[in-house]
Amino acid sequence: MLPSELKPEHFSGYPPQARKIVTENLAALRLLPLCVLPTLLREAIEYDYKFPAEQRALERELANLRSLTPEQHQQWFAGFEKIQLTAALEKFDWVNSPGQFVEQLSAHLWTTHQQDAYRRAAMEYGDRLQSAAPPEPLPVPRVGISVIGQGVAASTLPLFRKLRAHGAYYTHVNPENGLQQLLDFAAARAQAHPIPYAHWYIDGGQEGTYDPALTSVSYHALQPARNALSGKMQKEIEQPGMGPEQLRSVMAQLRPSDLGLDRISDAVLARFQLKVLTEGSGTQIFSTTFAQWAAREALRRAQPLTMIVRFAPRQRQRPMNELLYGKKEIELDPEGSLVDGDMGAYYNWLNQQRLSGAAESAFIAWFEGHNEAIAIGPAVPRGTVSNAPTDLKQILTWTVS
Amino acid sequence: MVNLANHPFSRKISWTRRDFLRDAAGLTLGSGLLSSRLLAGLPQPGRKVVVVTFGGGARDQETFAPEGQENIPHLMKELIPQSAFFTQVVNRGILGHYVATASLATGAYETFNNFAATPPVNPTVFEYFRKDLKRPASDAWVVAPSNGFNRIGESSHRSYGPGLGAHVILPKHLLTAATSGSQDYAHLLRDNYETPLYAPELSGNEFELQQFAALLKLSMDDFKTHALTLSSPDELSVYIVRRLMKQAAPSLLWITLHDIDIAHAGAFSLYIDGIRRTDRLCAEIWKTIESEPEYAGKTTMFILPDFGRDSDEDSAGNGFQHHRTGDVLSRTTWMMALGPNIRQGVVYDRPLDSTDLVPTIGSVMGFSSALSQGKPIQELL
């Protein structure tokens, strides 16, 4: 089927809000090239479970598509129109399985050496959309906080090397009560700006005491879901003919109830956690990967105003000879996790800077329980070092305008 | 398709690598006009070639950039000063490890499903070598990391294919067989880092346990005992490579290292550990070449990644973790060549294609790779 043949009844399998928004925009959707439309439907079919920021972004995009003149439409999609697809892709049920279609499309683009052309067209489209439908101004500048190194007694590792050029590096931070100071700061912002899913606390281990105004996700709390997922994956790979692509499809079709996540009353957050575990590579195994990927996805999708990400020790990767000896106990690797967290903090900052209001946003990373921190913000001099005694509360005051 | 070789960012990567190397390793800049062709002459009988893929992909930030050089001390201090270094090797194919390594081995961009147990469509370098030079099967070997690579030794091409390929050793598979497939060894087999729980069915010209033991003159007990001293699959591969060089001395030996690809699990420290181990293993392979009488003084070694990894700047990816965006950084890699008649300590900036490797090996060893898409690298001939 081609996009021009779409009818409202084709979307009868969509959740209610998704069906509504798609059928209301059917005229604009019918004009899209087949290599584009399923990528948009992949977002739309999840509309009922999306964060408000994502819903608004999708609505802005659809409104923009409705407003394009035929000439503009031709300009916007000229690059995509050159992409050659196969009859098999045209016959695929891309309406009801847009995610699987996009996976097959990706494989087709690589195989036929059209990946670069598609990538170029997608970037041009994204730039045009950004200019035509800019995001709304923020009520308050964003603040990102990363806490790394939990459980490390001492380290000579030079931390925050990738971040230092962008802000002030503090070497004499009083660590006492530091985590609580940061969580109190986030709670105060959540109370002052009570916007759904705007203030997050992600913990790679056991979460500390936090204000319920914060949206919280933790590796520890998800242990039952991780175990359930591991069991399901193990069972699936034992099926005859199971390959990586089939396994990915199976995982993509999992619902929160399959992992016991339906016990979470917030269906949107339950779906978010499901996707972090099923779509994130390594999130099921390493807590540091979980924290970084969950933060990336929360930033990309929910676009929070406040986010605290705390990295905890991950399990140690057992070397081959330990596997051979049959050693089974799980040990932690705090030192390796510090390295992971250091890079994770850098990625958290990069991902925050990809969002609107980047010039006004602030970022702090702290070596938990120790004296080192980095602060980045419009009021912070770049590439500076402060050896003066201070604490996180003071750094927050200096950094966040 | 974007011409990556002329892409400004691709050139920038190349220049940056050159500057890093010139500053850190004191290398000089080479040019095509100063090729070592006059030094080398015609292919020499008895010439051997060892190819090492620096896998599965590492970025400049963690290797050749100033902040990354601490991770590759052996490449920087021992190998690069002895090598001709090419700063810009562009891979225009599919960025999956099996299909990309198969493309390196055929000199043509393969387009099969990376996760399928399928042979390359185009003839491999092993088939060209064996058919043209009438070499026996024992003279071409592949040591590869996981089950997914078990078909890499031999293509499905009707003019080559069955009976003309290389022996393929999958060390972990041998280890599993040697230990009767206990549960923990089964876990080892499933370390395709992109899909860690998947192990495809084996078929093809894979070397079996008993043949392996007889050829390498290694008892299964000794093999198991030694494996217990090794920390990673790549260390096991290099152990087997050493035995193979000592006992069989093949003329064409291809080693695919893969530990770095643990990066897919998202733990940066494990990715760095993988780079440091790979750096050390590359130096160990070269030392073995220099110390084995069958190889010393007559072996050319090529070290190159199959491709890179995603840049931090591309929001479609997640930095070092994957190689999914197809951005310029993930496609632009490097290559070093060491051995007799190769100008040492020279950096070449001109863009190469990753398919140039096979015809270059052909020129070095004296066989034709007629169906390859690449061209011989003149600076090495």
In a domain, A34, yes or no: yes
Q: Mean pLDDT across the stretch A14-31?
A: 97
Angle between helices B171-178 and B220-227 (to 10 degrees): 110
**pLDDT-based confidence at residue A210 (cuts at 50, 70, 90):** very high
| Cβ of residue B3 closer than 8 Å to a chain A Cβ | no
A residues 289-328 closer than 8 Å to B (CB): 289, 292-293, 296, 314, 317, 319-321, 323-326
CB pairs under 8 A between A and B: 128
Distance, first Cα to last Cα, chain A:
53
> Within 10 Å of residue A359's Cβ, how many Cβ atoms?
8
> Which neighbouring-strand residues pair with A173?
A390
**Most A-contacting residue of B109, B318, B327, B332 (CB-CB within 10 A), to test interface:** B318
Cα radius of gyration rounded to whole Å, chain A: 23
What residues of chain A lie within 8 A of the CB of B69, using their CB? Answer: none
pLDDT attached to residue B191: 47
Q: Are residues A208 and A344 in the same domain?
A: yes
Q: Which residue has the tokens 């931390």?
A: A159
> Which neighbouring-strand residues pair with B167?
B141
Q: What does the buried/exposed string (b/e) look like for A4-25 if buried means 16 or more CB atoms within 10 Å of the residue's CB?
A: eebeeebbeebeeebbebbbeb
In a domain, A292, yes or no: yes
| Tally of helices (H runs) and strands (E runs) in chain A | 16, 10
In a domain, A363, yes or no: yes
pLDDT attached to residue B224: 83
Contact status, residue A52 vs residue A73, Cβ threshold 8 Å? no
Q: Are residues A212 and A76 in the same domain?
A: no
CB-nearest to A296 from B267, B318, B326 is B318
Q: Are residues A118 and A147 in the same domain?
A: no
Q: What are the E-state strand segments in A78-222?
A: 143-148, 168-170, 173-174, 199-203, 215-218
What are the strands of the beta sheet with A215-218, ordered from one edge?
A: A215-218, A199-203, A306-310, A143-148, A362-367, A373-376, A168-170, A384-386
Distance, CA of A215 to CA of A219 (rounded, Å): 14
Task: Outline where B26-95 has alpha helix (H).
Answer: 37-40, 73-74
Among A167-181, A238-252, B12-26, B105-119, the minimum mean pLDDT is found in: B12-26
The residue out of A132, A165, A180 marking a domain boundary is: A132
The residue out of A106, A132, A158 marking a domain boundary is: A132
The per-residue pLDDT for range A56-100, each reduced to its tens digit, is 999 999 999 999 999 999 999 999 999 999 999 999 999 999 988
ω before B56 within 30° of 0 (cis)? Answer: yes
Q: Are residues A122 and A179 in the same domain?
A: no
For A156, the 3-state DSSP assignment is coil
pLDDT at A165 over 80: yes
Q: Are residues A86 and A156 in the same domain?
A: no
- Written as tens digits, the pLDDT of chain B (381 aa) is 344 455 555 666 676 777 777 677 777 777 654 444 444 456 667 899 999 999 878 998 999 988 999 999 999 999 999 999 999 999 999 888 889 999 999 999 998 877 777 899 999 999 999 999 999 999 999 999 876 788 899 999 999 988 999 999 988 878 877 776 555 555 555 545 655 444 445 444 456 777 888 888 888 888 888 888 888 889 999 999 999 999 999 999 999 999 999 999 999 999 999 999 999 999 999 999 999 999 999 999 999 999 999 999 988 899 999 998 888 888 999 999 999 989 999 999 999 999 999 999 999 999 999 999 999 999 999
Task: Outline where chain B has alpha helix (H).
Answer: 8-25, 37-40, 73-74, 97-106, 125-133, 171-178, 183-189, 209-216, 220-227, 233-247, 268-291, 328-331, 357-365
What residues of chain A lie within 8 A of the CB of B233, using their CB? Answer: 320
The per-residue pLDDT for range A185-198, each reduced to its tens digit, is 999 999 999 999 99
In a domain, A61, yes or no: yes
Cα-Cα-Cα-Cα dihedral sign, residues B154, B158, B162, B163? negative
In a domain, A15, yes or no: yes
Q: A272 CB contacts (<8 Å, ≥6 apart)?
A: A51, A217, A297, A298, A301, A302
Contact status, residue B310 vs residue A347, Cβ threshold 8 Å? no
In a domain, A137, yes or no: no
Q: Are residues A102 and A151 in the same domain?
A: no
Domains: count for chain A: 2
Taken in order of first residue, the domains within chain B and their CATH numbers are 48-352 (3.40.720.10)
Q: What does each C-alpha distance from B40 to B35, B50, B84, B363, B364 come to in angstroms?
A: 10, 18, 14, 11, 9
Q: Are residues A26 and A106 in the same domain?
A: yes
What residues of chain B lie within 8 A of the CB of A240, using their CB? Answer: none
B residues 229-248 closer than 8 Å to A (CB): 229-233, 235-236
For A44, the 3-state DSSP assignment is helix
A residues 7-36 closer than 8 Å to B (CB): none
Taking phi over 0 as left and psi of -120 to 50 as alpha, with beta for the rest, A148 belongs to beta
The first and second tokens of residue B299, run together, are 């072996």
**pLDDT-based confidence at residue A33 (cuts at 50, 70, 90):** very high
Distance, CA of B171 to CA of B161 (rounded, Å): 23
Average pLDDT for chain A: 94
Global model pTM greater than 0.95: no
The per-residue pLDDT for range A114-134, each reduced to its tens digit, is 988 999 999 999 999 999 988
Between B196 and A12, where is the model more confident?
A12
**pLDDT-based confidence at residue A183 (cuts at 50, 70, 90):** very high
Taking phi over 0 as left and psi of -120 to 50 as alpha, with beta for the rest, B161 belongs to left
In a domain, A99, yes or no: yes
Looking at residue B29, its amino acid is L
Q: Are residues A171 and A298 in the same domain?
A: yes
Contact status, residue B129 vs residue B252, Cβ threshold 8 Å? yes
| Cβ of residue A247 closer than 8 Å to a chain B Cβ | yes
Tell me how many degrees the CA angle B297-B303-B306 measures, rounded to the nearest 5. Answer: 155
The residue out of A85, A101, A132 marking a domain boundary is: A132
Q: Are residues A218 and A365 in the same domain?
A: yes
Contact status, residue B97 vs residue B48, Cβ threshold 8 Å? no
In a domain, A153, yes or no: yes
pLDDT at A361 over 70: yes
pLDDT attached to residue A38: 97
Distance, CA of B375 to CA of B358 (rounded, Å): 8
Q: Of A22, A47, A52, give the one whose Cα is nearest residue A37.
A: A22
Distance, CA of B16 to CA of A272 (rounded, Å): 40
Q: What domain range includes position A326?
A: 143-399
Q: What does each C-alpha distance from A5 to A1, A8, A44, A95, B306 come to in angstroms?
A: 7, 10, 18, 11, 43
Q: Are residues A149 and A125 in the same domain?
A: no
Q: Are residues A390 and A315 in the same domain?
A: yes
In order, the DSSP letters of B308-321 are ----TT-TTS-GGG
**ipTM surpasses 0.95:** no
Q: Mean pLDDT across the stretch A149-175?
A: 97
Q: Are residues A394 and A251 in the same domain?
A: yes
Taking phi over 0 as left and psi of -120 to 50 as alpha, with beta for the rest, A150 belongs to beta
